[in-house]
Amino acid sequence: MNPSSPPRSRQIPVIVLAGFLGSGKTTLLNHLLRHRAGNRIGVIVNDFGSIEIDAMTVSGQVGSTVSLGGGCLCCAVDVSELDSYLETLTRPAARLDVIVIEASGLAEPQELVRMLLASDNPHIVYGGLVEVVDAAEFAATRERHPEIDRHLAVADLVVLNKTDRAGEAEQLRIREAVAATGSTAAVVSASYGRVDPELLFDPALRPDGEEKARQLSFEDLYLEERAAESGEEHGHLHAAYESLDFTSDVPMSPRRLMAFLDSRPEGLYRIKGYVDFGAGDPDNTYALHAVGRFLRFAPQPWTRGGPRLTRLVLIGSGIDVPALRKELEGCRAPDGPTPDTAQDAAHERSMWGVLRYVRGPGDDT
């Protein structure tokens, strides 16, 4: 995420895109493919019907794979073969940056999430469950499919789609219904599935410079044409969300930072970056990846001669950026070489087991 960040084993985020029939999942997926920020995207379609993706129709026949252009691929699979397709798509030869699983309109998305979290594939990392909701037909959908409440409760991000057809009062009712399920997910509004891709994944950074000098692509031409038609500024298709960049040259306290992460507020969707724990582990920085309730720390050796800093990016909807910055500043380690008390010192030592642990949506801790 930063040129001075230490090298690390590459993991591909896998995003589950769910929502009932007619909610606009495929429209949102098409939008991501057209505004992919230089990424090569793998698409896994969990459906047995005919699903139109851009100008192509992907047959529901198990095992079919088609190229979507720009290095993107699409597979139509039986969910029981998900692991084998993830193995294929994460091979270095595929050169993919992001994988999106478009769940069947009647699928139980939490089952796909469980499969991803239980996967032994070392090349993937859970990228979040995105639930797409038709804001104009929410009441009718809920009446036909009361299980939508269960889907909303486990979502990491809720996209209220088709808000051009739903008034502010109706959107507020939907947000209240989402909150009533116990969900702490970020909720963003969209029309025609237009969410900013950076809400879901980072722009591609090619170390070999291949994206710096290239021919004008069809994606570039499409974006320019679309911007001219709609009056949108090129590259600025935003769903409303906020982001916070945090940098500290003072090491962080494991105890304080974990307390912050365990109590992170509603609407805080993604956290990414690197953490310096100072004398607690002078040999390593800790890569932090959090999406929704999923949290993962991974120790990595410091880059020789590089700066020893904590660098974090927080992304969410409806978050209080100044308050979050103040909380993070309060997570810095106390002055002095050791914690204030023997009890605190024991607590700090016990945190190193926690920091090598992956917490998922099903964990109680």
- Per DSSP bridges, beta strands 310-316 and 242-248 are antiparallel
pTM beyond 0.85, yes or no: no
For every one of its 365 residues, what pLDDT tens digit does the chain have, with 9 covering 90 and above?
443 444 445 799 999 999 998 999 989 998 998 888 889 999 888 654 555 665 455 544 445 566 666 667 677 666 667 888 899 889 998 899 999 998 876 668 888 898 899 899 999 999 999 999 999 999 999 999 999 999 999 999 999 999 999 999 999 999 999 999 999 999 999 999 999 998 999 887 654 444 444 444 444 444 455 455 544 444 344 556 899 999 999 999 999 999 999 999 989 999 999 999 998 899 999 999 999 989 998 899 999 999 999 999 999 999 999 999 999 999 999 864 444 444 454 455 445 544 544 555 545 43
- Convert 224-247 into a string of H (helix), E (strand) and C (coil): HHHHHHHCCCCCCCCCCCEEEEEE
CA 312, CA 329: separation in Å to the nearest integer? Answer: 12
CA distances, 211 to each of 3, 207, 226 (Å): 16, 9, 22
Element (H, E) at 68: strand 64-69
Reading the block at residue 325, the tokens are 């910055």
45-70 pLDDT, tens digit per residue, is: 865 455 566 545 554 444 556 666 66
305-354 pLDDT, tens digit per residue, is: 999 999 999 999 999 999 999 999 999 998 644 444 444 544 554 455 44
- Cβ-in-10-Å burial (0-12, 13-18, 19+) of 278 comes to middle
3-state SS, residue 69:
strand
Element (H, E) at 298: strand 294-301
CA 361 to chain centre: 14
Rg (CA), the chain: 21
Element (H, E) at 163: none
